[in-house]
Structure 1
Amino acid sequence: MALFPSSALNAGVRKREVFGWAMYDFANSGYTTVVITAVFAAYFVGGLAKGAAWGAFAWTLSLSIAYAIVMFTMPMIGAWADLRAAKKRVLMLATAGCILSTAALALTPRLSGMEAVGLAMLLVIVSNTFYSYGESLTGAFLPELATAEGMGKVSGWGWGFGYIGGMLTLGVCLAYVLWAQSQGLPASHFVPVTMLVTALMYGLAACVTFALLPERAKPAAASGRVSWSDSWRQLRRTFDQARAFSDFMWLLACTVAYQGGVAVAITLAAIYAEQVIGFKPQETMVLIFALNLAAAAGAFSFGYLQDRIGHKISLSTTLVAWIAVCIIAGSVTTKGGFWCAAAIAGLAMGSSQSAGRAMAGVLAPPQQLGEFFGLWSFSTRLASIIGPLSYGAITWMAGGNQRIAIFATSGLFIAGLLLLLPIDMKRGRAAALEAAR
């Protein structure tokens, strides 16, 4: 943790607290890497759904339902957590919910037909909802830890640790899968084990966060007794006040656009690699592992560059890289060519997500972090619905041609670039600080 100075942290914040905070990204990234991207997604479509044409739609529908739930509930939960100074308590509950439902995915191969598909969809909805709650809540701790000038570095540490955690979990799962395949065991045997491994590593790493990361916020109400109706009233006030934070609102619009493209990469990369380029399942897992390695490097390095050259320039640079990824991935026909696109995607993924979260931290009013990060989560979940569903719709309309869909995805990143232009970081930060007085 000596790679960034104490001046990057707010007064009284110890580096061990930053380490504890970053370890939550380490903890939950195994879930997205193994469940959403590399292992269970392919098993759901090819194993539980038996490769049926509706399999991919059922998968994206499950994720979309989860994201819709988060969209309409996370702002309220964030407001409640702010008023009660309960971000850490809610984070612990969300973590437990994701871990238990992820472990329960191991039960799906014991059923058959639509019963297995139905149970898998239900558990994916539940686990992804709780995962998303945790992601938003941990982001709300960032401005409590880092100064505006050091937020890029600290955010980069979080995303970097996250990709390392994702690689470690995927690496353990890959080792087991290769052993199981060498023993002639089917996917219905080794996929449940990967779900249990993912849940276990999530829980162990999250314990570090809960041990080291304190709740620094103070209850807004003197008695600390705040009802859910108070949260709703506060949330309505937040939406009414949002017009005064124009730069934050532009960031939300930008986030909806470019995160929609990122969501395509996260949820459909393995499917594209196998169905269009011809990767084998174990090759796909290695590809995702390498993508996480590149993403970790991008998050770490861009966190420092972001604080030096500015948040806006950093994010715009990564969006240009994403446009290049879409063009390359849609054009290449060889595995080597797709590896090139994946390497750029990894660097762009880590840096763009780190930059976006840091920008939200700079532009959010300090006294309403939970609420404003709830709005940011609303935008990222809306993006996660728009991106994959539009990809699927375009693929269907194009007669199954995913290359057309990946070219069209570049439009989301172009829109993100255009929506980034009106943002003035100095003006937005001044508005956020003025609201805290």
Structure 2
Amino acid sequence: MQTRKNIVLWVLYDFANSIVSIVFFLYFAQWIVIDRGVSDFHFNLAFTASAVLLLLTVPTTGMLLDTHIRRIVGLRVTTACVITLYSLCALSALWGKEYAALILFALGLYMYLLSFTFYTPLLNDIAAAGKRGRVSGFGIAANYLGQIVGLLIALPFSKGTVSLFHATPRAETLLPAILLFALLSLPALLLLDEPKHAAATTPLAQTWKQTFRQTRSLLNSPSVAYFLAAYFLFNDAILTVSNNFPIFLENVWAVGDTTKTFILLGILPTCAAGGVLSGFLADRFGHKRTLVVILLGWLGLLPLLGLLTDFTLFVISTTIMGFWFGASWTVSRSVMSHIAPAGRHNLAFAYFGLAERASSFIGPIAWGLLVTNLISLGSGRYRITTIAMTGFIVLGLLALARVHDERTPSRAG
């Protein structure tokens, strides 16, 4: 239902889930690799494991969404699983059980990523076609604002100023973030109105067969197939660099967690601004055209991050990079909402989510192998690996060139 209340609730959920994601991103990554000595390769395998699980389940969930279950129900179930698994992961970290924590993190990450299979298609229910770019932008902006809140709440725990569990500071940050996520996600889970869909009359076994036929039909659309390939490739670079950014800061620049927090606090407002601005620009000038410009920017930014040796210039560059982070996901999400064939939106978004998260199958392995095999280069191996990620963006641009413009840009205010 296209109401202001639904838009607010949808955006609020994006705000809530970002709190737990940023805290795990910054502190769990360092706790497991720096504090507990787990290798970069094994840490990155958690992303690969979650990608494999998604590969096995996302097509089915997309099919069920189109035929048998409601999106909000799936979102409720996956959110409950995220809270449970991440809570157990946090407890394992508090008890110093690094490999139990890593396994639970991989499973929690899987459920967290799976939740977007249910969350993202709600965009088509709550926003008209001409406004999806900006509503998507509002969601991305709320996500980055939630990350700012998460960093500020975690900071006193990471500094040791507040200690609730008498554990290491990085481990202390996790449970408070999970609790806040649980509380702030409740309004959307309980109050968001999803339009009722006609009850499915087809037996489940027959629906499975239809899914394979529909998948072939979906991928026979050249724009959808090429865009999924492009998104898989360029998002591979963005996600992999992002997931390893705290470890990059630790090993290349040797800065403390407080400095890392303030670096991220500088990046996140520009992420939010980039998310909102790019949504309006995409609605005005065309979604594919805007995305091409964004990716060309990444071709310059990643080598710059790997080559800079002046810390001040590095911080300035990462702050500017925030615009590209916010813009990349806003415009990608709105492109898919426009090129998805009628009646196949849920299935298309299921594969969109799969392309996004399955990119964490190749990217982390490439990162882990490069960092491991270049260990003789010391911290320089992280610089080289960051630059190497641009190869995925080049391949993504080549695939994106085959995607047809999805519609004429809106000229209305």
Match of 1:333, SS state, is coil
- Do the aligned residues in 1 keep the contact of 2:268 with 2:322 (CA within 8 Å)? yes
Aligned pair 1:174/2:162, yes or no? no
Following the alignment from structure 1 to structure 2, what is the Cα–Cα distance between the partners of residues 82 and 343?
A: 40
Q: TM-score, normalised by structure 2?
A: 0.92
Question: Runs of 5+ in structure 1 lacking a partner?
Answer: 1-11, 430-437
| Change in 2 beyond 3 A, CA 1:304/1:336 | same
Q: Aligned to 2:382, which of 382, 402, 421?
A: 402
Give 2:28's aligned amino acid.
F
Alpha-carbon distance, 1:321 to partner: 1.8
Corresponding residue for 1:45? 33
1:219-258 equivalent positions in 2, closer than 5 A:
219=198, 221-222=200-201, 227=204, 229-258=205-234
Alpha-carbon distance, 1:111 to partner: 4.0
Q: Spell out, residue by residue over 1:281-306, the C-alpha distance to the aligned partner (whole angstroms, 9 max, x if none).
A: 22112222222222111101111111
Q: Spell out, residue by residue over 1:182-227, the C-alpha distance to the aligned partner (whole angstroms, 9 max, x if none).
A: 57999934334321111112112211212342222514524xx853
Structure 1 residue runs of 4+, over 6 Å off? Answer: 183-187
Corresponding residue for 1:103? 87
Following the alignment from structure 1 to structure 2, what is the Cα–Cα distance between the partners of residues 126 and 78?
A: 20
Aligned pair 1:421/2:401, yes or no? yes
Give 1:310's aligned amino acid.
G
Following the alignment from structure 1 to structure 2, what is the Cα–Cα distance between the partners of residues 55 and 209?
A: 38
Aligned pair 1:195/2:174, yes or no? yes
- Do the aligned residues in 2 keep the contact of 1:76 with 1:231 (CA within 8 Å)? no
Q: Aligned to 1:78, which of 50, 57, 62?
A: 62
- Do the aligned residues in 1 keep the contact of 2:20 with 2:177 (CA within 8 Å)? yes
- Do the aligned residues in 1 keep the contact of 2:163 with 2:169 (CA within 8 Å)? no
Aligned pair 1:316/2:316, yes or no? no
1:17-56 equivalent positions in 2, closer than 5 A:
17-35=6-24, 37-49=25-37, 55-56=39-40
Q: Spell out, residue by residue over 1:111-130, the C-alpha distance to the aligned partner (whole angstroms, 9 max, x if none).
A: 45xxx122112211111011
Aligned residues: 405
The alignment yields a C-alpha RMSD, in angstroms, of 2.2
Match of 1:26, SS state, is helix
Following the alignment from structure 2 to structure 1, what is the Cα–Cα distance between the partners of residues 114 and 63?
A: 13
Alpha-carbon distance, 1:408 to partner: 0.9
Corresponding residue for 1:163? 144
| Change in 2 beyond 3 A, CA 1:183/1:212 | closer
Q: Aligned to 1:57, which of 5, 20, 41?
A: 41
Corresponding residue for 1:295? 271
Following the alignment from structure 1 to structure 2, what is the Cα–Cα distance between the partners of residues 46 and 407?
A: 23
Corresponding residue for 1:136? 117
Aligned pair 1:213/2:192, yes or no? yes
Task: Give percent identity, aligned residues only.
Answer: 23
Give 2:20's aligned amino acid.
Y
1:341-420 equivalent positions in 2, closer than 5 A:
341-399=317-375, 400=377, 401-420=381-400
Alpha-carbon distance, 1:280 to partner: 1.5
Q: Which moved more, 1:371-380 or 1:138-147?
A: 138-147
Following the alignment from structure 1 to structure 2, what is the Cα–Cα distance between the partners of residues 332 and 189?
A: 32
Corresponding residue for 2:71? 87
Alpha-carbon distance, 1:159 to partner: 0.8
Following the alignment from structure 1 to structure 2, what is the Cα–Cα distance between the partners of residues 378 and 201?
A: 27
Alpha-carbon distance, 1:345 to partner: 2.2
Following the alignment from structure 1 to structure 2, what is the Cα–Cα distance between the partners of residues 146 and 184?
A: 43
| Change in 2 beyond 3 A, CA 1:31/1:142 | same
Aligned pair 1:329/2:305, yes or no? yes
Following the alignment from structure 2 to structure 1, what is the Cα–Cα distance between the partners of residues 9 and 226?
A: 31
Q: TM-score, normalised by structure 1?
A: 0.87
Give 1:327's aligned amino acid.
P
Alpha-carbon distance, 1:244 to partner: 3.2
Match of 2:351, SS state, is helix
Match of 1:188, SS state, is coil
Q: Spell out, residue by residue over 1:298-348, the C-alpha distance to the aligned partner (whole angstroms, 9 max, x if none).
A: 101111111011101211121122122212111111221221221132110
Question: Runs of 5+ in structure 2 lacking a partner?
Answer: none
Following the alignment from structure 2 to structure 1, what is the Cα–Cα distance between the partners of residues 314 and 2?
A: 43
- Do the aligned residues in 1 keep the contact of 2:218 with 2:344 (CA within 8 Å)? no
| Change in 2 beyond 3 A, CA 1:428/1:419 | farther
